[in-house]
């Protein structure tokens, strides 16, 4: 590799984006340098663009990314080779702290230390650094894939891993009934993963166009919540009992209250989506007690979730194409962000080549 400089897209304020040229981060001995080939736009970047997020400006977005290895540190032990296709992780690559030893890399106390090391390598620029031509990562944050899967699909391993992370918290059995409320991008990811458990997947959604996407993603039953009472329809589909599991892929008070009414005895509610501003809820505690309901939350993923997600896409076990709205060039990132922020848009992926 002969390049010494690279282009990086920097959010400088709401609706403001600059393409700057910076030095390619110097590779440390335990790191791998990747040429970014595809990076999807998540709600994190949407909030940066709209000015509703909590990250300070200026910052570099982009954390749903995949690319190709171009350089390898001399003490990297995983056997990477130049030209390898890889899925990129975010955060700590694990270590020897309490949480990492338990496989909970998301909770690792080393995460902030690793992040600040990256900030230093990027000349003090904060962010996630996917919206750039190159990305340097510790070797433990890369997951190699073997097949010629398009980079725009590999980039969606990260959001897929978040659905896997939540699904692994629930003890779904073959033949159970799982309701997913909301068929947006992450609703589709939950549908895709729920299918793998052997459960019947029921989807409730207000927009007919999104119900069609849910069908493409593998939903067994579709509920148009504009046409029928979704609570009553779930009961009809389950002989009056209710669902074993309900996943809210849309955040909000009304959705959560609706989800609780869809549950069978001993049912589990997974709060997958956040809501802004944060709502408060009033639960009938006796109802939760007597019906032995379980209410869970989930956010992010551990390293093993990303490994599994990369493998599932790479080996063709899952198809994430229904989640993709379109792909645009890196130079059209402003247009891509405008499109991604529309309420009816699925994942927009930026391609670097």
Given this model, what pLDDT does residue 308 score? 96
Do 311 and 267 lie in one domain? The reply is no
Q: 256 burial class (0-12, 13-18, 19+ CB within 10 angstroms)?
A: buried
Do 38 and 153 lie in one domain? The reply is yes
Last residue of a domain, one of 280, 297, 314: 297
Report residue 96 as tokens: 């020897």
Given this model, what pLDDT does residue 78 score? 85
Given this model, what pLDDT does residue 162 score? 96
Last residue of a domain, one of 278, 297, 316: 297
pLDDT band for position 119 (50/70/90)?
confident
Q: Report the percentage of the chain scoring pLDDT > 90.
A: 80
Query: Model pTM?
Result: 0.93
pLDDT band for position 70 (50/70/90)?
very high
Say which CATH number the domain at 153 has. Answer: 3.90.180.10
Residues 33, 37, 42, 47: what is their CA dihedral angle, to the nearest 10 degrees? Answer: 80
Given this model, what pLDDT does residue 25 score? 92
3-state class (DSSP) for residue 176: coil
In the predicted model, what is the mean pLDDT of residues 135-160?
Answer: 95
Among 62-71, 162-171, 281-290, where is mean pLDDT lowest? 281-290
Q: Domain total for the chain?
A: 2
In the predicted model, what is the mean pLDDT of residues 268-284?
Answer: 90
- Residues 197 and 190: their CA atoms lie apart, in Å, by 11
3-state class (DSSP) for residue 51: coil
- Paired with 60 in beta bridges are 127
Last residue of a domain, one of 297, 313, 329: 297
- Residues 197 and 267: their CA atoms lie apart, in Å, by 16
Signed CA dihedral, 295, 298, 304, 310: sign only: positive
Average pLDDT across the chain, whole number: 93
Is 96's pLDDT higher than 70?
no
Given this model, what pLDDT does residue 217 score? 97
Is 27's pLDDT higher than 70?
yes
In the predicted model, what is the mean pLDDT of residues 292-307?
Answer: 94
Is 2's pLDDT higher than 60?
no
Q: Phi first, then psi: what are they for 168, rounded to 5°? A: -70, -15
Do 220 and 83 lie in one domain? The reply is no
Report residue 335 as tokens: 């247009």
Is 92's pLDDT higher than 60?
no
Domain interval for residue 325: 5-161+301-351
pLDDT band for position 136 (50/70/90)?
very high
Is 251's pLDDT higher than 80?
yes
Is 315's pLDDT higher than 70?
yes
Do 157 and 9 lie in one domain? The reply is yes
Say which CATH number the domain at 281 has. Answer: 3.40.50.720
Among 106-115, 134-143, 226-235, 320-329, where is mean pLDDT lowest? 106-115
In the predicted model, what is the mean pLDDT of residues 34-61?
Answer: 93
| pLDDT tens sequence across 180-212 | 999 999 999 999 999 999 999 999 999 999 999
Is 95's pLDDT higher than 70?
no
Do 150 and 17 lie in one domain? The reply is yes
pLDDT band for position 110 (50/70/90)?
low
| DSSP H or E run through 206 | none
Do 18 and 141 lie in one domain? The reply is yes
| pLDDT tens sequence across 252-273 | 999 999 999 999 999 999 999 9
Give the residue among 150, 224, 192, 204 at the shortest CA–CA distance from 322: 192
Give the number of other CB atoms < 10 A from CB of residue 102: 11
Do 74 and 146 lie in one domain? The reply is yes
In the predicted model, what is the mean pLDDT of residues 117-121?
Answer: 87
Do 201 and 292 lie in one domain? The reply is yes
Given this model, what pLDDT does residue 103 score? 73
Do 258 and 319 lie in one domain? The reply is no
Given this model, what pLDDT does residue 94 score? 55
pLDDT band for position 125 (50/70/90)?
confident
Do 71 and 149 lie in one domain? The reply is yes
Do 323 and 265 lie in one domain? The reply is no
Do 39 and 113 lie in one domain? The reply is yes
Give the number of other CB atoms < 10 A from CB of residue 340: 25
């Amino acid at each position: 590799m002969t390049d010494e400089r690279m282009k990086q897209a920097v959010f400088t304020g709401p609706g403001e984006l600059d393409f700057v040229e910076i030095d390619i981060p110097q590779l440390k001995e335990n790191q791998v340098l990747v040429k970014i080939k595809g990076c999807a736009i998540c709600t994190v970047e949407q909030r940066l663009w709209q000015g509703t997020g909590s990250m300070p400006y200026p910052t570099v977005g982009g954390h749903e990314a995949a690319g190709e290895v171009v350089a390898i540190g001399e003490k990297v032990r995983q056997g990477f080779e130049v030209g390898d296709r890889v899925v990129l992780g975010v955060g700590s690559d694990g270590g020897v702290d309490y949480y990492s030893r338990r496989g909970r890399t998301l909770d690792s106390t080393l995460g902030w230390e690793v992040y600040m090391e990256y900030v230093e390598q990027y000349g003090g620029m904060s962010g996630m650094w996917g919206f750039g031509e190159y990305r340097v990562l510790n070797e433990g944050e890369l997951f190699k894939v073997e097949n010629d899967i398009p980079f725009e699909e590999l980039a969606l391993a990260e959001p897929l891993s978040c659905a896997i992370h939540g699904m692994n918290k629930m003890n779904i059995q073959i033949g159970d009934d799982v309701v997913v409320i909301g068929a947006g991008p992450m609703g589709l990811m939950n549908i895709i993963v729920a299918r793998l458990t052997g459960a019947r997947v029921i989807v409730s959604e207000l927009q007919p166009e999104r119900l069609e996407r849910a069908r493409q993603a593998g939903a067994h039953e579709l509920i148009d919540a504009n046409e029928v009472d979704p609570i009553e329809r779930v009961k009809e589909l389950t002989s009056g009992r209710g669902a074993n599991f309900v996943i809210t892929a849309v955040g909000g008070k009304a959705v959560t209250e609706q989800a609780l009414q869809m549950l069978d005895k001993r049912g589990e509610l997974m709060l997958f989506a956040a809501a802004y501003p944060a709502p408060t809820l009033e639960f009938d505690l006796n109802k939760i007690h007597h019906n032995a309901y379980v209410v869970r939350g989930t956010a992010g993923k551990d390293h093993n979730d990303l490994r599994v997600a990369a493998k599932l896409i790479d080996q063709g076990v899952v198809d994430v194409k229904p989640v993709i709205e379109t792909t645009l060039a890196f130079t059209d990132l402003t247009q891509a962000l405008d499109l991604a922020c529309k309420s009816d848009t699925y994942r927009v992926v930026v391609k670097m080549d």
